[in-house]
Structure 1
């Protein structure tokens, strides 16, 4: 009997927690799908349709996104900002097709970062980012200032695509540390000096590698821990109560047995 009670309580707890979390999860899944569709349409040059999807995303996110207990204020700000930039890119008459795709890609990667429970999409860009940065280093080794500036511009463009996602998935301190170094070599590129710059580039390369090595997410949804703890608490309480009842019953039985013998 006691095991039936425990199983019933367990099922009820799971059902309750699922019903509480279903709506936010469903909303985020829908937003993630809209972002993916918008990116695909952008790649095919169907900017007006992509813009409509982004506007739909904005409406849903404004109404339901902030109500999700999974999003922090920093994540809300990042997604809002990257969504605005993507929408602006799609409505721009001066941006090239390639630049529009890059802006919408940054948005797509950010939305995945807030919904992904496993490896985020931006993590798959490690080779692209590291190869691009290696080209910057090669140009520095050659002492070719023109080539160095071209490769640095290419790297900065690619890094900008994953930067919003980094802010969502990694600590502020870690991202700021890399950003400050990248900003430094970008701002003072005119004073390029091969030996000095190579030391800076080597350090940035190490920092970039550390970003990707720290990108592994915890596979367990934090809300699951709440369910486990709640269910565990119910089971422990139930077992304790059943054991106490059994103990009381055995005690009464022993007393009644003694009385009969007397």
Structure 2
């Protein structure tokens, strides 16, 4: 399972590699996005000192954009600041293992993408690995396999931790809090999940919540103008068919009257 998770996560990391470069022609938010991507690429290459310099350049740029344009909400500022601090620590803490370093900078990368993207945020590409690992959690729980359950649950929580702040930016507060509460409930009472039937139902509810969030975001990504065309065209077709049907009905009615005469 661990090797499978490593391969899936590595493939996801490759999806983040868009080789973006901060260019003067880019908008300020696009420049921030490019810097976060560059920091991630350097971290993956274990060039931690260079990644730290990029993160410091990001901090200067972010402060400038925040002061000049005031484009970020207080929640966005707080989430970006926390993720940035964790990314800085990842590039400077020599005792942290390389995987954890990548995880922290990936979390930062996803946060910046979430505030810069109007649709198709990168964190939604984590749907397949997260749901695959959670399916392993559920299977181990139903089979009563304690060691496998704890191992897979830890793997799920690790992936969830990476997308947690970026998800918070894109999902409604009420819905995010409901999901986050369920995740922490299962983590805290993991021993009961294996022994109590009612507690195991929490796994199914959490899976439904997760799937619903991913599905709804994908539905929201449809072009609004396309939906308008579909609705408008459908209305025209319905009106046309209704009119044709009404004309046909009146014609038949007139024929019936003529026969009666």
- Please report the TM-score for the alignment, with normalisation by the length of structure 1: 0.71
Aligned-partner Cα distance in 2 for 1:211–1:160 = 16
Distance 1:179 1:166, change over 3 A: same
Report the counterpart of residue 107 of structure 1 in structure 2. Answer: 108
Max Rg structure: 1
Distance 1:67 1:153, change over 3 A: farther
Report the counterpart of residue 126 of structure 1 in structure 2. Answer: 127
* 2:32 equivalent to 1:34: no
Of structures 1 and 2, the one scoring higher in RCO (CA 8 A, sep 6+) is 1
Distance 1:59 1:220, change over 3 A: farther
* Aligned residues: CA RMSD: 2.2
Report the counterpart of residue 72 of structure 1 in structure 2. Answer: 73
What's the CA shift for 1:214? Answer: 2.6
What are the ranges of 5 or more consecutive residues in structure 2 without an aligned counterpart? 1-23, 225-261
* Per-residue CA distance 1:81-105 (angstroms, 9 max, x = gap): 1111111122112211011101111
- Please report the TM-score for the alignment, with normalisation by the length of structure 2: 0.71
* Equivalent residues of 1:106, 1:162 under 8 A apart: yes
Distance 1:188 1:151, change over 3 A: same
Distance 1:213 1:219, change over 3 A: closer
* 2:159 equivalent to 1:162: no
* 2:52 equivalent to 1:51: yes
* Equivalent residues of 2:120, 2:221 under 8 A apart: no
Q: How many residues align?
A: 199
What's the CA shift for 1:59? Answer: 1.4
* 2:178 equivalent to 1:184: no
Aligned counterparts, 1:1-262, within 5 A = 26-65=27-66, 67-192=68-193, 193=195, 195-216=197-218
What are the ranges of 5 or more consecutive residues in structure 1 without an aligned counterpart? 1-22, 222-262
Distance 1:60 1:150, change over 3 A: same
